[in-house]
Structure 1
């Protein structure tokens, strides 16, 4: 059996994040169909929240996945990639759940953004470490 490499770890988290983005996109489509809205949100809170949950994920996930890929390129330990990937994934799921429940502040939404930022700081610091040493 082959050992798990940093590339395998990055592939896992990239795959999971792509599934998350697809799911959030499908939730937007479902709301659009339900409310018969082709463009914009027409002031419908559920549609606006679904659009923002997807939009927010598309604002944070791509850059983080680039970070995971570069961590794999520099052969960071798979555990480092798993930590960053898990923090990001948990953060994005919590944020999306919180935002889908309410347009206002919610605990899952706040926790989600904090975990996302921790993932960003962790991946950034690790990348800078590998760049320097």
Structure 2
């Protein structure tokens, strides 16, 4: 029962969460805001990037671990983990670069995250149905 590949992506995503959290703290300190965003667009964007991360990543990591434990090939686990990590980096970059709306990074990042969630979910359902 090894989850070394999932552990790699969990570690990378943990570091990314710390970076995103630090950015929120930095903007809060810069603007003197301890709660909310104080109407500052850069702080608002940093809060949403961090919030979006914590909304998606825990479920995605559970799915990733289950895919690995289910015995799918390492390439599949790496593909899912890389899509999730890259998606979260692109989303953070895109929303930071354009806090007001659309950007390539934001769109591509959320699409990669959704595709990872969908693919992992399908793999788990197919695997579970195959064992019934």
Structure-2-length-normalised TM-score: 0.93
How far does residue 129 in structure 1 lie from its aligned partner after superposition? 1.7
Q: 2:108 aligns with which of 92, 105, 111?
A: 111
In structure 1, the gaps of 5 or more residues are: none
SS of equivalent residue, structure 1 residue 41 = coil
Change (3 A) 1:6 1:115: farther
Query: Using the alignment, how far apart are the partners of 1:18 and 1:69 within structure 2?
Result: 15
Structure 1 match to 2:89: 93
Q: Matched residue pairs, number?
A: 129
Moved over 6 A (4+): none
| Distance of 1:123 and 1:72 partners within structure 2 | 10
Q: 2-side partners of 1:101 and 1:6: how far apart?
A: 38
User: For 1:37, what is the secondary structure of its paired residue?
Assistant: coil
Higher relative contact order (CA 8 A, sep 6+): 1
Tell me what 2:80 maps to. Answer: 84
Partner of 2:124: 127
CA shift, 1:36, in A, is 1.0
Q: Which residue does 1:72 correspond to in 2?
A: 68
Which of 45-54 and 115-124 deviates more? 115-124
2:24 to 18, 24, 28: 28
Given candidates 36, 43, 46, the residue that maps to 1:47 is: 43
CA RMSD of aligned residues (A): 1.3
| Aligned equivalents of 1:130, 1:80: Cα separation in 2 | 14
Pick aligned residue for 1:102 from 98, 105, 111: 98
Q: Deviations over 1:11-61 (max 9, x none)?
A: 111111111111101110011111111110010000000000000011110
